[in-house]
Amino acid sequence: MLSLKIVILGLLVAISDAVAIPANINYKDALSKSIIFFEGQRSGKLPPNQTLTWRANSALSDGAADNVDLTGGYYDAGDNVKFGFPMAFSVTMLSWSVIEFGKLIPADIDKAREAIRWGTDYLLKACSALPDAIYVQVGDPTSEHQCWERPENMSTQRSVYKITPSNPGSDVAGETAAALAAASLVFHKIDHKYAKTLRETAKKAFTFAESHRGSYSDSLSSAVCPYYCSYSGFQDELLWAAGWLYKATHNASYLNFAQSLNVDSNADTFSWDNKFPGADILLAQDFIINKNQAASSYKQQAEKFLCTVLPNSPTLSAKYTAGGLLYKMTPSNLQYVTSTSFLLGVYAKYLRISRRTFSCGNMVVTPSVLIRLVEKQIGYILGHNPQALSYMVDFGNNFPLHIHHRGSSIPSVHADAQAIGCDEGFQYYNTSNPNPNILTGAVVGGPDENDSFADDRDNYSQSEPATYINAPLVGTLAFLAGDQVLGKLF
């Protein structure tokens, strides 16, 4: 029976050493809601099948002043700016989630693809001026953060920012290339023409990133810093993009390029900024599964990273709270929990398929070791924690009610059509009343290193959701939900 399920799912996975999944966590419900969240972040003209009906059309003139259509895409978090760097990373991670675990979630796969396409449609527009420029941001973050307005009738300046050969941004261009390449793999069997467009545009974005090297933080300065500075530089995005283009095209020149970077990052964090661990695990698959010796070094790098986060590993550098939560840093620590958990789950899958283990010193690491840690982290997020609080909005009976999110905290335009101005909106920021609009599926920044959490809009570090918190969580929940419903595949 188990082997039959594996055939059905298309996963060549061994079943021994199974890990029990807590029966009292409804991972399928959490998965569905984690995808719905992206509807709450949509910019542009909303589709008829919009689930979160308190949202409405917004930013329909984005790019018009610069004679370019930049409508659509996603607002990054609780504000109304479209930051291209974290948006592209979110699309990459949504795509990777579907690539690895999409067959486990037939009921949610269409919604997941919708979420990806909403992002890629925008990124294609952002790349419409190639090879001369890539548009990387819409909205002035300084004026935006001085106001508290819902996106439907915001009054802040919708400035457009771009990178060019003379003002480069290899980091954001590389991430854009990665997002488009990864998404091409999502659509290649169901929409060949669209997948080809994504793939060809990814190639152009990568060429731009590689040919005009530099950091977008240097080129755009205060427009992106301190919000989304590229602290890790751009080498990681070049490696990441090359890895995804290698997967999407099967062209060995991209693997050769990745190897030519000769990077040994020692990175212990995977995020919208630092892609090294993700790139290493992505490329390690080619050695683990396909036995390509040219990719063997990435397996070593991947396992070195994993050993830094595994409890009881002699090279553990990560910290854990008393309640068992992986704790990296503030703000928004849960972004690191969801991204790390995703990598753990993906690597567990690779180990299972290849019937491998690895070692952290004298500690033998089996797939079950990785998955137990994933379960603990996701369980914590969903309510198994000292606060007995679900950090996902609208999941469970106890979740944050005062999240730092403009659209959620201000009455919907359907309830109050009159414009609520920049300063006027702060009455909703400062009120002790719960947010009137439920942003279903939003995962907030989460507790501090002492497992403490303040459900307060003013505490953005803990109470603000973001697309890059949810995006890797989708894949992890897809694995856990499919495993829970269809049997213990791992």
For the stretch 153-178, pLDDT in tens is: 999 999 999 999 999 999 999 999 99
Q: Is 213 exposed, middle or buried (0-12, 13-18, 19+ CB in 10 A)?
A: middle
CA–CA separation, 387 vs 427, rounded Å?
28
How much is the CA Rg of the chain, to the nearest whole Å?
Answer: 21
Question: Domain segments of the chain: what residues?
Answer: 314-403+439-489
Please give the C-alpha separations between residue 175 and each of 5, 30, 84, 89, 272, in angstroms, as whole numbers: 35, 27, 9, 6, 9
Q: Which helix (H) or strand (E) holds 124?
A: helix 109-126
- Strand, coil or helix: 44: strand
Q: Is 464 a catalytic residue?
A: yes
Please report where in the chains the tokens 């909205």 appear, as a residue. 139
Q: Which of 455, 456, 458, 483 is catalytic?
A: 455
pLDDT of residue 5: 38
Q: Classify residue 24 as exposed, middle or buried by CB count within 10 Å of its CB (0-12, 13-18, 19+).
A: exposed
Q: Tell me, what's the pLDDT at 170?
A: 99
- Model pLDDT, residue 264: 78
Chain center to CA of 420: 31
The pLDDT of residue 282:
98
Which ranges of the chain have pLDDT less than 70?
1-23, 483-490
Angle, CA 459 vertex, CA 320 and CA 38 arms, to 5°: 85
Catalytic residue among 39, 175, 286, 464: 464
Tokens 């300084």 belong to 142
Q: Tell me which residue of 70, 31, 179, 56 sits closest to 117, measured CA to CA.
A: 179
Sequence-distant (≥ 6) Cβ neighbours of residue 471 within 8 angstroms:
89, 90, 91, 92, 93, 94, 97, 338
Q: Quick check: is 280 catalytic?
A: no
